[in-house]
């Protein structure tokens, strides 16, 4: 059974073809610069990466280019489209309509469309990816896997904002949460790692990448998370501000003579550790700049560590303790500095870091010293595998 996993963004299409007997990735790749010019990078599991400039005026052409690469005599891994048994799509926003993955039908597409209003950057290209797949791979079942679905178990006290209630009723303004597939995957793995049944474990998962969020997972359910109505709320991120006083928005509009949209753009694209440091949104650059004595890079990192640690503290309160804190995603998996500095705030719980294990890469590991009040783990995430597994479970 081969599952094709698609993640369709506004100008890119990421794909993986996974053989579910053994869960082996047969090939993966990305179509970039869709609607601009077009580039395809394709990596078969047993071969070298193949890069080509291909005209990609739209997403249908991108799906076509991906299929050509998968079927190619030299770099391909299948000989006919029929060898793709099902397609799993990453869909960013499922609103209150979807609390689990579903087979894509006309009704489901309408549901995804209804969420375009609250996810204008993500859901429209997700839908285009579905339609392009229907056109070029007719008859192959398609499944939607939502970033928001795992967080549909949040209780009202966690998801309601203290605004006039009518705005929740009229516009569905509430906390939704994102990175759900990743939080679900790493929390399940972490429960296995510590040898506790998933439905009895309390876990705090820290997905720290370009976008970053933390989730409180209690008895296998998301009970709180830092991202909100949009992926702008919560932690300080690469270019996103995370939480700020909402009054800053109108103040900036007046002072800079700019629109609400302009401020939103600043908060999404020019803030976070990039805005604070003026150096970069990439933690490798920031750590190098700090080591070279750059004061603003140092303070940007400190703001980031502090906010992550405070959010972990909130979830320790929310769940009345935790069995483990888990780090994942680009920064969480690769930065010993971030893990060490966040754990420093947890010293009062008896958390000590084993630096030899904190230096490991790409493996599931515990980084705390024996007897730690809370265990701290690193679990590499694998969102594509979750999408493929859900797709298999649904169409299987």
Helix (H, G, I), strand (E, B) or coil at 368: strand
CA 285 to CA 170: how far, in whole Å?
44
Q: How far is CA 271 from the centre of its chain?
A: 19
Helix (H) or strand (E) holding 182: helix 180-194
Using the rule CB under 6 A, give the single segment among 31-39, 75-83, 302-310, 325-333 that binds ligand AMP. 325-333
* Shorter beta-carbon distance to ligand AMP: residue 95 or 272: 272
Interactions with ligand AMP, residue window 138-197 (CB under 6 A): none
Give 282's strand partners.
Answer: none
Interactions with ligand AMP, residue window 72-111 (CB under 6 A): none
Distinct helix (H) and strand (E) counts, the chain: 15, 14
Q: Which of 201, 312, 326, 329 binds ligand AMP (CB under 6 A)?
A: 329
CA 374 to CA 345: how far, in whole Å?
12
* Shorter beta-carbon distance to ligand AMP: residue 152 or 213: 213
Residues 115 and 124 sit within 8 Å (Cβ to Cβ)? no
CA 212 to CA 206: how far, in whole Å?
8
Task: Report residue 35 as tokens.
Answer: 């609607």
Using the rule CB under 6 A, give the single segment among 92-100, 109-117, 300-308, 329-337 that binds ligand AMP. 329-337
Sorted by sequence, the CB contacts under 8 Å of residue 57 that are 6+ apart come out as 34, 35, 38
Residues 199 and 186 sit within 8 Å (Cβ to Cβ)? no
* Shorter beta-carbon distance to ligand AMP: residue 174 or 339: 339
How near is the Cβ of 256 to ligand AMP at its closest, in Å?
Answer: 28
> How many residues sit close enough to ligand AMP to count as binding (CB under 6 A)?
11
Backbone angles phi, psi at 267, to 5 degrees: -65, -30
Residue 37 is among the residues annotated as catalytic for this protein: no
Q: Which of 129, 209, 234, 380 binds ligand AMP (CB under 6 A)?
A: 209
User: Does 239 engage in binding with ligand AMP (CB under 6 A)?
Assistant: no
Neighbours of 270 (CB within 10 A): 13
How near is the Cβ of 277 to ligand AMP at its closest, in Å?
Answer: 12
Catalytically annotated residue among 19, 147, 323, 390:
147
* Shorter beta-carbon distance to ligand AMP: residue 145 or 329: 329
* Binding characters for ligand AMP, 270-289, by CB under 6 A (x = yes): ------------xxx-----
Q: Which of 187, 334, 358, 391 binds ligand AMP (CB under 6 A)?
A: 334
CA 393 to CA 396: how far, in whole Å?
5
* Binding characters for ligand AMP, 219-238, by CB under 6 A (x = yes): -------------------x
Q: Which residue is nearest to ligand AMP (CB)?
A: 330
Neighbours of 326 (CB within 10 A): 30
Q: Which of 77, 227, 232, 331 binds ligand AMP (CB under 6 A)?
A: 331
Q: Which has the closest alpha carbon to 127: 152, 144, 141?
A: 144
Q: Which has the closest alpha carbon to 75: 46, 110, 117?
A: 46
* Binding characters for ligand AMP, 335-374, by CB under 6 A (x = yes): x---------------------------------------
User: Where do we find the tokens 């049944």?
Assistant: 197
Interface positions with ligand AMP (CB under 6 A): 209-210, 238, 282-284, 329-331, 334-335
- Residue positions annotated with a catalytic role: 147
């Amino acid at each position: 059974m081969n599952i094709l996993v698609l993640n369709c963004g506004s100008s890119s299409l990421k794909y993986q073809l996974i053989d579910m007997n053994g869960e082996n990735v047969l090939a993966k790749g990305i179509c970039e610069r869709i609607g601009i010019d077009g580039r395809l990078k394709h990596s078969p599991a047993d071969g070298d990466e193949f890069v080509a400039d291909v005209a990609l005026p739209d997403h249908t052409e991108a799906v076509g280019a991906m299929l050509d690469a998968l079927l190619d005599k030299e770099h391909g891994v299948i000989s006919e489209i029929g060898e793709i048994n099902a397609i799993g799509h990453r869909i960013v926003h499922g609103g209150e309509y979807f609390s689990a993955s579903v087979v894509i039908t006309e009704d489901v597409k309408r549901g995804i469309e209804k969420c375009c209003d609250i996810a204008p950057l993500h859901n429209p290209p997700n839908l285009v990816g579905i339609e392009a797949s229907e056109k070029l791979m007719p008859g192959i079942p398609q499944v939607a896997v939502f970033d928001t679905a795992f967080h549909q178990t949040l209780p009202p006290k966690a998801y309601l904002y203290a605004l006039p209630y009518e705005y929740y009723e009229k516009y569905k303004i509430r906390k939704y949460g994102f990175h759900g597939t990743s939080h679900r995957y790493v929390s399940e793995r972490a429960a296995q790692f510590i040898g506790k049944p998933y439905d009895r474990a309390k876990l705090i998962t820290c997905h720290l990448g370009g976008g970053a969020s933390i989730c409180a997972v209690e008895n296998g359910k998301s009970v709180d998370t830092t991202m909100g109505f949009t992926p702008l709320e919560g932690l300080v991120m690469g270019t996103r501000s995370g939480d700020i006083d909402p009054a800053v928005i109108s103040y900036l509009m007046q002072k800079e003579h700019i629109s609400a949209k302009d401020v939103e753009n600043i908060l999404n694209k020019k803030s976070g550790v990039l805005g604070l440091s003026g150096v970069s949104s990439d933690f490798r650059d920031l750590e190098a700049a700090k080591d070279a004595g750059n004061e603003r890079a140092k303070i940007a990192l400190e703001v980031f560590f502090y906010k992550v640690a405070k959010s972990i503290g909130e979830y320790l309160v929310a769940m009345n303790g935790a069995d483990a804190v888990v780090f994942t995603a680009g920064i969480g998996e690769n930065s010993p500095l971030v893990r060490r500095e966040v754990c420093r705030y947890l010293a009062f719980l008896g958390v000590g870091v084993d630096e030899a294990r904190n230096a490991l890469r790409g493996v599931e590991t515990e980084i705390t010293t024996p007897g730690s009040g809370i265990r701290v783990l690193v679990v590499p995430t694998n969102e594509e595998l979750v999408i493929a597994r859900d797709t298999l479970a649904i169409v299987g």
